[in-house]
Amino acid sequence: MSSALHEQPYLESWRWMSRQIRCALEPDEPRLIEHYLAEGRYLACCTSMSAWTVAETSFRLLIDTATDTALPWHWRSLCLDQAWRPLRDLERLSLCKCRLKRWQSHAWQLATVSLLPSIPLIELMQGFPDE
């Protein structure tokens, strides 16, 4: 069996979890982030997927989700709280100057991120109030 066939179900699962996180489809299930990160670690160690790509993708997902004001505050805060984990992996994988520079950029972004309040649910509703 080729490695591409072996990794496909894990990659699809990882991508589905990323969509659930990014869209806050299960905002009251914090273990989803842990499962997502664990699936990424599996992809990095047991398939042909690059550990750097997995860690950077995970970091971007968590930061982008944390700064999305349309999502619930508690979910955004949780994503921000977990963003250090893939960032730590990126630091460990920064073996050349270009990667070290990218890691430093990500570290600076995490250190300086400012979360704006989430948009109130009433403002997210579409249409007109008299409809």
Q: What is the pTM of this model?
A: 0.86
**DSSP sequence for 12-76:** HHHHHHHHHHHTTSSTT-THHHHHHHHHHHHHHHHSSS-HHHHHHHHHHHHHHHHT-TTS-HHHH
CA 18 to CA 89: how far, in whole Å? 18
Per-residue pLDDT tens digits for 67-118? 999 999 999 999 999 999 999 999 999 999 999 999 999 999 999 999 888 8
- Delimit the domains of the chain by residue range: 3-113
CA 37 to CA 18: how far, in whole Å? 10
